[in-house]
Copies of this chain bind each other. A is one copy, B any other.
Amino acid sequence: MKLTTKGRYAVTAMLDLAIHAKDKPVTLQDISGRQGISLSYLEQLFAKLRRNELVKSSRGPGGGYQLQEPASDIAISRVIDAVNESTDVTACGSKGNCHNGQQCITHDLWCELSEQIHSFLSSITLQTVINKQQAKEQVELLDNREQNNTFILSQVS
């Protein structure tokens, strides 16, 4: 499990698709404009996303990309794994052929942690993130209304 800006770009682009490609495909040009990611970098990312069957493409005018599955079926971990080629984390390549047993203990510990992070990100889907955000906006809306009602108090804090 690796979590870099590359994975963030991929997740961001997938979220953009989930939001904007409901009925008709969305072009990379659109995503590029909205999210501030260069077109050719998006092309590279989407080649991987396509190979991993996370998006489907249609060519020609009116073409573009769509999610291959509903947003509620696409876990964040799948998106990140798709663009971050699998990296062998351990020094010994998980073969357990370290010189002495001691040496591998913390490797195992890290693998255990990495596994936990992975399974956590497997439990979160694109839809989860969108829902969470919408809920947050609701709260903020209520907060703002509350704030207007108690304007003087809010200035104190």
Q: Point out residues on A near B: beta carbons under 8 Å.
A: 1-5, 8, 11-13, 15-16, 19, 34-36, 76, 89, 91, 102-103, 105-110, 112-114, 116-117, 120-121, 124, 129-130, 132-133, 136
Contacts and interface: CB of A to CB of B under 8 A. Distances in A.
Nearest to A108: B133
Contacts of A34: 102-103, 106
B121 A109 contact: no
Contacts of A120: 117, 120
Given A1-B3, A2-B3, A120-B120, A106 B16 contact: yes
B106 A15 contact: yes
A117 B44 CA distance: 26
